[in-house]
């Protein structure tokens, strides 16, 4: 494909990727963050200790995480239709990406919270703080650098997943690479798209690391 | 006042029951500095953590200022905790928050307004001597400074009780001493009851009025610190006391010794009298001081002297009896060869 026809295609694909990844990342934060916190505070010895709830939550998360994304994408088509009214295009793909990203990020948040010193949680309890204060000012505050690192990992995984969105006509850079580069043996498109994805991943990683370092007061 | 009645805490560790605290009853008076000493695993930390219900006892009651703490939960418990400050061995400050924010956290827990918080944090920082560190993060502070922030946070809501969980065990001796002085000052000026747990008798000696010795979840001995130093009843107490009063003499000196070796404990007024020179003038014995020191416990002197007495065997015996009558603490370590 000549470069002048490739350029607008690429640009649209690039925005589609950002759009899908952006929406699912937002969903991961909105749903995955509280889920991760809940997983952590229902653990043994913490203020909302609740083993049954934690086990059920953990099991549900593991179910979603064990389904290969490409199958999840197809399996969720009815839900996608219900939610956004269509099963094709980047918005439709964003639904499946969000569902995949949420449990992934929840586990990452849970892990980041485990790094918070138990003694600090106790000190906050001893001072008479409410659970909400402990979550906001101790857990999320002290674990924020770890959570930002986790968000970076999630974003980069989503960029990878988004390549499969082509199955439902989701578009995006990865989809372009498969359709033109792989199926049509067009090396120009293949190499260009890979370079774009490489740059995107580099930028996301760099920004994530910088923010995490900036807010880390250790 | 803290009343602990028949407190028991049993843990389930790998489906086995482990008794942490075993039917402990204890009454801590308002305004005193009470120490609990024991080796690690003795249950002292568990006992302390039951007082503000960081650990819920298996049975028994704890009454702090007429409130049965063990009957509380939820908001009522949080309310009660505002009046029980606590400091920790590892300081336990929120890493991502400044000194100001760490102290303000405690005040926000009590629902104070922004202006109230500003004023109170300033007062507290002044008291612990950290006004210039207001906007520093914990990682920028030394251990002693972190503990001072911990103390400011614990005192934020004007508690009546301050619990100290090995508060100086992570600090060097000079810093330990300055933190202990601060605790003493807080106790004197604010009248706060302080409960200290430690494995170091030095800490007990330095600031406590009374002390309980714990072993295997039980209190084996309790009393005024001075009394425990001078008349320890239990072997464990004796070993803690020995640690402070120990006199190490070079082996070479002991080898060269020919007379009778005695260890004399001078208590209270006796430590201020010239008993030793009286003895040496009254009896025909020669005395050679090998070692000695005077410890001040709650401003009362306690002297230990290692003395070699030589001369006629009977004269030495009479001299020992003479001193024993006046000091109540002569221990013959080794007879003349």
Tell me the nearest-neighbour CA distance from B101 into chain A, angstroms.
10
- Nearest-5° Cα angle at B59, B221 to B18: 70
A46 touches chain B (CB under 8 A): no
Enumerate residues 80 to 139 of chain A having a beta carbon within 8 A of any beta carbon in chain B: 117, 119-120, 122-130, 133, 137-138
Residue B163 near residue B84, CB atoms below 8 Å: yes
Full pLDDT tens readout for chain B, 337 residues: 899 999 999 988 888 888 999 999 999 999 999 999 999 989 999 999 999 999 999 999 999 999 999 999 999 999 999 999 999 999 999 999 999 999 999 999 999 999 999 999 999 999 999 999 999 999 999 999 999 999 999 999 999 999 999 999 999 999 999 999 999 999 999 999 999 999 999 999 999 999 999 999 999 999 999 889 888 899 999 999 888 887 777 778 777 778 888 888 887 676 667 788 888 888 888 888 888 888 888 778 888 888 888 888 888 888 888 888 887 678 888 777 6
For the record, the structure tokens of B192 come out as: 């706060």
Long-range contacts of B177-182 (CB under 8 A, 24+ apart): B177/B206, B178/B144, B179/B144, B179/B147, B179/B148, B179/B151, B180/B206, B180/B207, B182/B128, B182/B148, B182/B151
Look at A142 and B81 and tell me if their CB atoms are within 8 Å: no
Do B114 and B154 sit in the same domain of this protein?
yes
Where residue A6 falls among pLDDT bands split at 50, 70, 90?
Answer: confident
Distance CA B123, CA B105 (A): 15
Note the pLDDT tens digit of each residue in A30-62.
999 999 999 999 988 788 888 999 999 999 999
For the record, the structure tokens of B59 come out as: 């049975």
Q: CB pairs below 8 Å between A and B: how many?
A: 80
Look at A128 and B81 and tell me if their CB atoms are within 8 Å: yes
For the record, the structure tokens of B246 come out as: 């120990």
Domain containing residue B234: CATH number: 3.40.50.300
Tell me the nearest-neighbour CA distance from A107 into chain B, angstroms.
22
Nearest neighbour of B94 by CB, restricted to A125, A126, A142: A142
Residue from B96, B117, B136 whose CB has the most chain A CBs within 10 Å, to mutate? B96
| B88: alpha, beta or left? (left if phi > 0; alpha if psi -120 to 50) | beta
User: Concatenated DSSP letters for B115-140?
Assistant: HHHHHHHHHHHHHHT-GGGTT--GGG
pLDDT at B78: 95
Do B200 and B302 sit in the same domain of this protein?
no
ipTM score here? 0.87
Do B301 and B160 sit in the same domain of this protein?
no
Do B310 and B178 sit in the same domain of this protein?
no
Total tally of structural domains belonging to chain B: 2
DSSP designation for A173: H
Residue B321 near residue B290, CB atoms below 8 Å: no
Residue from A118, A120, A124, A126 whose CB has the most chain B CBs within 10 Å, to mutate? A126
| Model pTM above 0.80 | yes
Do B15 and B70 sit in the same domain of this protein?
yes
Do B185 and B259 sit in the same domain of this protein?
no
Which chain B residue has the Cα nearest residue A48? B74
Do B77 and B151 sit in the same domain of this protein?
yes
**Residue B258, domain extent:** 251-334
Look at B92 and A218 and tell me if their CB atoms are within 8 Å: no
B133 touches chain A (CB under 8 A): no
- β-pair type (B59-64, B218-224): unpaired
Do B196 and B236 sit in the same domain of this protein?
yes
Q: Taking Cα atoms as reference points, which of B201, B204, B199, B237 lies closest to residue B221? A: B237
Final residue before a domain boundary, out of B243, B269, B287: B243
**Measured between alpha carbons, how far apart are the two ends of chain A, in Å?**
51
Do B51 and B157 sit in the same domain of this protein?
yes
Domains of chain A: 3-215 (1.10.3720.10)
């Amino acid at each position: 494909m000549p470069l002048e026809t490739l350029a607008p295609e690429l640009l649209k694909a690039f925005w589609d990727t950002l759009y899908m990844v952006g929406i699912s990342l937002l969903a991961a934060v909105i749903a995955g963050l509280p889920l991760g916190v809940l997983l952590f505070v229902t653990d043994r010895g913490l203020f909302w200790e609740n083993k049954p709830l934690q086990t059920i939550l953990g099991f549900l998360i593991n179910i979603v995480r064990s389904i290969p994304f490409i199958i999840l994408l197809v399996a969720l088509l009815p839900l996608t239709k219900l939610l956004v009214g269509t099963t094709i295009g980047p918005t439709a793909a964003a639904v499946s990406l969000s569902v995949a990203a949420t449990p992934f990020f929840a586990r990452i948040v849970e892990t980041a919270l485990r790094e918070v010193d138990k003694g600090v949680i106790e000190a906050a309890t001893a001072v008479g703080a409410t659970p909400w204060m402990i979550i906001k000012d101790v857990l999320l505050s002290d674990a924020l650098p770890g959570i930002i690192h986790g968000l970076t990992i999630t974003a980069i995984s989503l960029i990878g997943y988004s390549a499969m969105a082509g199955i439902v006509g989701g578009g995006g850079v990865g989809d372009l690479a498969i359709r033109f580069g792989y199926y049509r043996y067009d090396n120009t498109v293949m190499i260009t798209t890979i370079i774009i994805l490489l740059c995107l991943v580099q930028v996301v990683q760099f920004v994530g690391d910088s923010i995490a370092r900036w807010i880390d007061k250790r | 006042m803290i009343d602990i009645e028949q407190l028991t805490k049993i843990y389930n560790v790998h489906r086995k029951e482990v008794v942490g605290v075993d039917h402990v009853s204890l009454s801590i008076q308002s305004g005193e500095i009470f120490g609990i000493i024991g080796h690690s695993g003795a249950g002292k930390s568990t006992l302390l953590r039951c007082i503000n219900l960081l650990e819920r006892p298996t049975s028994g009651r704890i009454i702090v200022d007429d409130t049965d703490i063990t009957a509380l939960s939820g908001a009522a418990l949080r309310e009660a905790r505002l009046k029980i400050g606590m400091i920790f061995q590892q300081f336990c400050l929120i890493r991502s928050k400044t000194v100001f924010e760490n102290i303000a956290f405690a005040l926000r827990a009590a629902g104070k307004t922004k202006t109230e918080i500003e004023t109170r944090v300033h007062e507290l920082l002044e008291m612990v001597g950290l006004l210039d560190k207001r906007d520093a993060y914990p990682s920028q502070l030394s251990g002693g400074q972190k503990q001072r922030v911990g103390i400011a946070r614990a005192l934020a809501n004007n508690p009546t009780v301050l619990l100290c969980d090995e508060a100086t065990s992570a600090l060097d001796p000079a810093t330990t001493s300055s933190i202990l002085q601060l605790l003493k000052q807080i106790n004197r000026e604010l009248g706060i009851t302080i409960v200290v747990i430690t494995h170091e008798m030095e800490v007990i000696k330095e600031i406590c009025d009374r002390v309980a010795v714990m072993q295997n979840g039980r209190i084996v001995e309790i009393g005024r610190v001075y009394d425990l130093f001078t008349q320890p009843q239990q072997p464990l107490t004796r070993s803690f006391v020995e640690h402070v009063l120990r006199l190490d003499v070079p082996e070479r000196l002991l080898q060269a010794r020919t007379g009778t070796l005695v260890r004399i404990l001078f208590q209270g007024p006796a430590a201020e009298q010239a008993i030793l020179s009286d003895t040496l003038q009254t009896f025909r014995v020669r005395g050679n001081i090998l070692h000695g020191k005077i410890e001040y416990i709650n401003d009362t002197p306690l002297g230990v002297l290692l003395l070699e007495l030589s001369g006629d065997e009977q004269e030495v015996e009479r001299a020992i009896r003479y001193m024993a009558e006046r000091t109540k603490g002569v221990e013959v370590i080794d007879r003349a060869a």
